[in-house]
Structures are given as C-alpha cells and as structure tokens.
Amino acid sequence: MTFFTDPGQWLQELLVSAIRNCAGQVVGIVQGYLLSTTDVFRGGQFTDAEAIARYQPPAIVVADSALAAVVIWGSYHIMFGHGIRTLYSVRILLPRLLLAIVAANFSKLLFQSAVDVNNALCAAVVQTGVGFDPKALFEIRDLGTGPALSVFVVAALFAGYGVLAVAYALRYSLLVVLAITAPLAALLFVLPDTHHYSRKWATLFVTTLLMQPLQLLILQVGLDLDLASPSTNPARHLFALATLLLAFKVPGALHATSTAGTHAISVVKHYAHLATHAAAHIA
C-alpha cells in the first residue's frame, strides 16, 4: 500500500507498525520507573545508586563544615538583637540546629525511608488492581483492519505513554539530585534567612516522590476500565487515554496542595508570633 493510492490506509498501517515495533520498549521503560522507585541500573535500594553513593558523602562533609559558620552567623544576630526577639531567635535556632545535624548526617537513611513508604503505596495500588500491564492496551487483534478511530486512539495512547516514560526518567534524575542535596537542604533549614529555600526543597521532594503512587492509581483505574469494555468497541481506549491525561495533572495538583499548606503554616506561625509578642508586652 502506497501513500498515493490510499493515504489513509497507508497512515494507519504505518501507525500499526510503529506501535507493534516500539510498544515493548516503551512499556518496559514505564514499568521499570513507574511501579517502584529503586536503583534502575543495578537494582536494590534507590539510595544505593552509584551517583548518590559518590556525591552525597562530600555533600554531608560540606554541610557539617558549614554548620559552624551558620552557628556563628546566627549567634551574631542574637548578640546584637534586642528585646523579646533575641529570646525568640534562640528558641528557633537551637532546635533547628539539632534537627539539621541529624537530618544532614542521616539524610541517606531518612531519604530511603521516605522512598520505602512510596514503594509500599505503589505495591498496594498494584495489588488492588488486575495487574498493571500497559502492553495489553496495544495488543488488539483487529488493529490493522478495524476502524480508523481505534487506530488513532491507540496511537495517541502510545504517544502518551512515551511521554510518560520520558517524564519518569526525568523524575528519577530529579530524585537523585534531591538525594545528593539533602544535607545542604538541612543546612539551609537552620537560619530564618535561608529557611524558605529548605521549604522549597521539601515541597519539590514531596511532589516528585508522591506523584508516583497517585499516577499509578489513576492509570490502574484507566486500565481496568479499558479491559472491562467490549473488545469490539472502537473507542474502548478512550477510558485509558482520559485517565492518562488526568495522570499528567497530578504533579501540578500536589504542588498546589503543598504550596497552600506551606502558606497556611506561615500564617499560623505569624499570628503565633504576634500573640507571643503581645503577651510579653502585657507581662
């Protein structure tokens, strides 16, 4: 079949051939990154990845060395402060300093603990469904002879999972960078001047990590709806395509929720400080 004799049929056959040739590779990448967060190159725990093992120990040394400078800078502010603000700064600095020391030196263990919780949530999602296998979405017997709608829906679904595979490769790289910079984020947590950078790191970490079980749940629902539809329905994959589009909305929704929570905490702390200051003046 050539393009000039029947361009529609030619395009349909081209899509069918591309999907059948590349479906296994795309599904393999998606399953390797989506079902759990581990070391994708050697297996095992995520924090045992070669890049993390190489770059995180120097980051811990830098954080521990910089803690002395942070203490001096914080003490400078306290010594030259006046009134109730000085006492308030001491109460903030000392607990943050202790937490930063623990978080920096045990950052690998704490990071892996959060990843383990994420993996447990992903395993729970997979066990409640019929088994996450996106390749079943592309294995249609009448793919080459069915209506054009079925072919183009499957092609859109295949392209969406290709984008998802790239997104999860980026997610893995971002988590590696976050794991390496975790000791530095703990260092930034100490001073009020740099505390907001530490919160931004935490927001990015929570959003990047927890997007996985939520997206997996949405895609699992779409797969179940797809398999429950009659195989003769040319639009059966619209359920899977719709849930795939919803899955791409998860990181933005998590970021918005985290930002709202951070703002609410800031408002509460602000009014708590005003109440403390007013009580001190009354006394």
Which pLDDT score is estimated for 44? 87
- pLDDT of residue 12 exceeding 90, the answer is no
Percent of the chain residues topping a pLDDT of 90: 21
CA distance to 140, 149, 151, 235, per residue, from 144 (Å): 9, 11, 8, 15
- pLDDT of residue 257 exceeding 60, the answer is no
In the DSSP assignment, the letter for residue 233 is -
- pLDDT of residue 191 exceeding 60, the answer is yes
Comparing CA positions, the residue from 203, 220, 64, 219 lying closest to residue 128 is 220
* DSSP assignments along 172-196, one per residue: HHHHHHHHHTHHHHHHHTTSTTTHH
Q: Is 272 exposed, middle or buried (0-12, 13-18, 19+ CB in 10 A)?
A: exposed
CA distance to 151, 152, 164, 231, 237, per residue, from 140 (Å): 10, 13, 21, 8, 11
Whole-number average pLDDT of the chain: 75
Rounded Cα gap, residues 74 and 110, in angstroms: 26
Percent of the chain residues topping a pLDDT of 70: 62
pLDDT digits (tens, 9 = 90+) for 103-152: 999 999 999 999 999 999 998 888 886 566 666 666 554 444 455 556 77
In this predicted structure, which of 45-49, 54-58, 195-199 has the lowest mean pLDDT? Answer: 195-199
- Which has the higher per-residue pLDDT, 8 or 178? 178
Confidence of residue 177 (pLDDT cuts 50, 70, 90): very high
Confidence of residue 240 (pLDDT cuts 50, 70, 90): confident
Cβ atoms of 29 and 165 within 8 Å: the answer is: yes
Confidence of residue 60 (pLDDT cuts 50, 70, 90): very high
